[in-house]
């Protein structure tokens, strides 16, 4: 009999402890035959830590992904686009909550993760360190970046950790609407006026580098991949995910008359059935995700302010639940900061 | 960290007559707030007619380590419809009468 909230079996267990090797062998055999790992199960500490790291970054990315899009809600070109964008932003924030919860089942408190994002200690996806300069950027984010994210999330949904897989299946269901809406927006731009077509191509040109970096460093540079794949946390390498994205979406882009900037020297190799390209600068990628991207500090500042502005709501709900009189809201926006 | 609320497990019912199915969880200071948050998180898409929330701390579960407790010690096929060969036996009975 276990308490559902008790989820740290084997926490702190390390190689050399009595019976550790047996437990590890049993765990790896289970994962290898496709069993799912649940919160109460024993798991190696590395497995736990790697999952916390991945899910935490994923959750932060959902929260930060809502920021460039949220900015554009008041500027949406039609009422329908505005409603769809509002729904998308609400979805992204909801995904963040689902993912924080999945990471929490591994023993890291949700509020601690939120604090680490605000303080700049925790990472989030490279793509959200860049500004959304025009409406076409919103279209490209909603189509191509969500497409790249779905390639990653569909794979992770089949991974070995139960709660993460369940959260991702739900997330993928909702992302399907984002992707279709994004594609619809890009089709509108691509079949619109000359100015609209130029705006869309300009957005693709600026976003192509972050998109090529989205699935993470090339396999030959990646330090975690082998272990993550052994434990079925990841089922495809970064390069395999990138190829899947290119294979699926380049034809759709070309069909809309879009091109990839020439410096990438993108070409299809018939023999290996893969797309070849000039490797991105992975040092630049690492610098950006450490919080030194073009708008990294603005992103976190926006996040920090909204956390402050929401504080009175959290306090009021906590007080009300304790049967106390709820504190009053600040009289003006900004008064809480 | 200015709040670490309780965890409530969320059960969602898609139509009257259907079972409530566990869909995830929310953090909230009390049940009413948990219901409100659960409605936003799990009831804004797909059909939903009812939601339950339960404090996670109130749920007692079996351990996966004890999975063998669900194994049958003896043959219990007599409890299942497939445990009876009615079609075959009825056919045999019919054949017997013809002889």
Q: In which band, very low, low, confident or very high, does the pLDDT at A233 lie, cut at 50, 70 and 90?
A: very high
Query: In this predicted model, what pLDDT tens digit does every residue of A208-226 receive, in sequence order?
Result: 999 999 999 999 887 888 8
Lowest mean pLDDT among A58-72, A118-132, A203-217, A321-335: A321-335
pLDDT value, residue A226: 87
**Cross-strand partners of A3:** B60
Q: State what percent of residues in chain A have pLDDT above 90.
A: 82
Q: Could you tell me if A28 and A231 are in contact, meaning their C-beta atoms sit under 8 angstroms apart?
A: yes
Contacts of A174 in chain B (CB under 8 A): 45
Instruction: Count Cβ atoms within 10 A of the Cβ of residue A140 and give its class: 0-12 exposed, 13-18 middle, 19 or more buried.
Output: buried
Nearest Cβ partner for A101 among B3, B25, B28:
B25
Compute the residue count for chain A. 337
Identify the three-state secondary structure at position A68.
Answer: helix
In this model, does residue A328 exceed pLDDT 60?
A: yes
| B62 or A269, greater pLDDT | A269
Q: What is the pLDDT of residues A129-164, one digit of tens each?
A: 999 999 999 999 999 999 999 999 999 999 999 999
Residue A165: pLDDT above 60? yes
A83-129 per-position pLDDT tens digit: 999 999 999 999 999 999 999 999 999 999 999 999 999 999 999 99
* Inter-chain touch A109–B25, beta carbons under 8 Å: no
Q: What pTM was computed for the model? A: 0.89
User: How many beta-carbon pairs under 8 angstroms link A with B?
Assistant: 76
Looking at chain A, the whole-number percentage of residues with pLDDT higher than 70 is: 95
DSSP one-letter code for B64: G
Beta-bridged to residue A2, according to DSSP, are B61
Answer whether B27 sits within 8 Å of A3, measured CB to CB. Answer: no
Confidence of residue A325 (pLDDT cuts 50, 70, 90): confident
Min Cα separation A318/chain B (Å): 6
B54 Cβ neighbours under 8 A, 6+ residues apart? B8, B9, B11
| Structure confidence at residue A5 (pLDDT) | 54
Strand partners, B55: B8
B34 pLDDT higher than 80? yes
Mean pLDDT of B3-31: 94
What tokens were used for A264?
């990438």
Does the pLDDT at position A182 exceed 70?
yes
Residue B1: predicted pLDDT: 58
**What's the pLDDT score for residue B96?**
77
More confident residue, B41 or A9: B41
Tell me how close the Cα of B52 comes to any Cα of chain A, in angstroms: 17
Pairing, β A274-276 against β B21-28: unpaired
Q: Mark yes or no for CB contact A111/B2 under 8 Å.
A: yes
Distance CA A124, CA A9 (A): 28
Q: How far is B97 from chain A (nearest CA, A)?
A: 52
3-class DSSP assignment, residue A49: helix
Examine the pLDDT at A334 and tell me if it is beyond 90: no
Which pLDDT band, with edges at 50, 70 and 90, does A297 fall under?
A: very high
Range with the poorest average pLDDT among A5-19, A83-97, A293-307? A5-19
A205 exposure class (CB count in 10 Å sphere: 0-12, 13-18, 19+): middle
Burial class (CB in 10 A: 0-12, 13-18, 19+), A264: middle
> 3-class secondary structure for A146-215?
HHHHHHHHHHHHCCCEHHHHHHHHHHHHHHHHHHHHHHHHHHHHHCCCHHHHHHHHHHHHHHHHHHHHCC
Give mean pLDDT, residues B57-72.
84
Q: What is the residue-averaged pLDDT of chain A?
A: 92
| Reported confidence tier of residue A336, pLDDT bands at 50, 70, 90 | very low
Over 80: is that where the pLDDT of A6 sits? no
Q: Residue B99: what pLDDT?
A: 61
Beta-strand pair B60-61/B21-28:
unpaired
């Amino acid at each position: 009999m276990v308490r559902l909230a008790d989820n740290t079996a084997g926490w702190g267990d390390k190689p050399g402890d009595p019976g550790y090797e047996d437990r590890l062998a049993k765990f790896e055999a289970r994962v290898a035959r496709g069993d799912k790992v649940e919160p109460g199960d024993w798991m190696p500490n590395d497995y736990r830590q790697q999952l916390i790291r991945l899910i935490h970054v994923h959750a932060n990315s959902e929260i930060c992904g809502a920021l460039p899009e949220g900015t554009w809600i008041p500027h949406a070109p039609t009422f329908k686009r505005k409603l769809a964008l509002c729904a998308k932003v609400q979805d992204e924030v909801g995904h963040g909550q689902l993912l924080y919860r999945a990471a929490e089942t591994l023993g890291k408190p949700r509020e601690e993760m939120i604090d680490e994002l605000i303080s700049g200690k925790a990472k989030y996806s490279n793509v959200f360190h860049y500004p959304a300069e025009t409406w076409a950027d919103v279209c490209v984010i909603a189509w191509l970046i969500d497409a790249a994210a779905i390639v990653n999330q569909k794979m992770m949904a089949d991974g070995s950790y139960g709660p993460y897989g369940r959260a991702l299946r739900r997330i993928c269901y909702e992302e399907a609407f984002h992707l279709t809406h994004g594609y619809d927006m890009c089709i509108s731009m691509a079949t619109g006026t000359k100015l609209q077509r130029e705006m869309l191509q300009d957005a693709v040109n600026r976003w192509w580098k972050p998109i090529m970096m989205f699935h993470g460093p090339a396999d030959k540079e990646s330090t975690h991949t082998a272990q993550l794949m052994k434990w079925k946390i990841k089922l495809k390498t970064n390069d395999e995910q990138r190829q899947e994205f290119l294979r699926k979406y380049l034809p759709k882009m070309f069909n809309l008359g879009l091109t990839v900037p020439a410096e990438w020297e993108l070409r299809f190799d018939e023999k290996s059935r893969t797309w070849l390209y000039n490797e991105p600068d992975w040092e630049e990628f690492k610098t950006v995700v450490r919080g030194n991207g073009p708008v990294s500090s603005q992103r976190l500042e926006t996040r920090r302010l909204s956390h402050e502005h929401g504080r009175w709501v959290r306090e009021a709900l906590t007080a009300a639940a304790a049967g106390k009189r709820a504190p009053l809201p600040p009289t003006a926006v900004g008064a809480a900061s | 960290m200015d709040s670490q609320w309780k965890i409530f497990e969320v059960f969602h019912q898609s139509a009257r007559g259907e079972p409530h199915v566990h869909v995830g969880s929310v953090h909230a200071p009390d049940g009413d707030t948990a219901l409100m948050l659960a409605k936003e998180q799990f009831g804004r898409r797909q059909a939903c007619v009812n939601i339950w929330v339960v404090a996670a701390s109130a749920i007692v579960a079996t351990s996966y380590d004890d999975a063998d407790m669900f194994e049958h010690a003896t043959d219990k096929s007599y409890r299942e419809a497939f445990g009876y060969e009615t079609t075959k036996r009825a056919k045999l009975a019919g054949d017997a009468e013809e002889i």
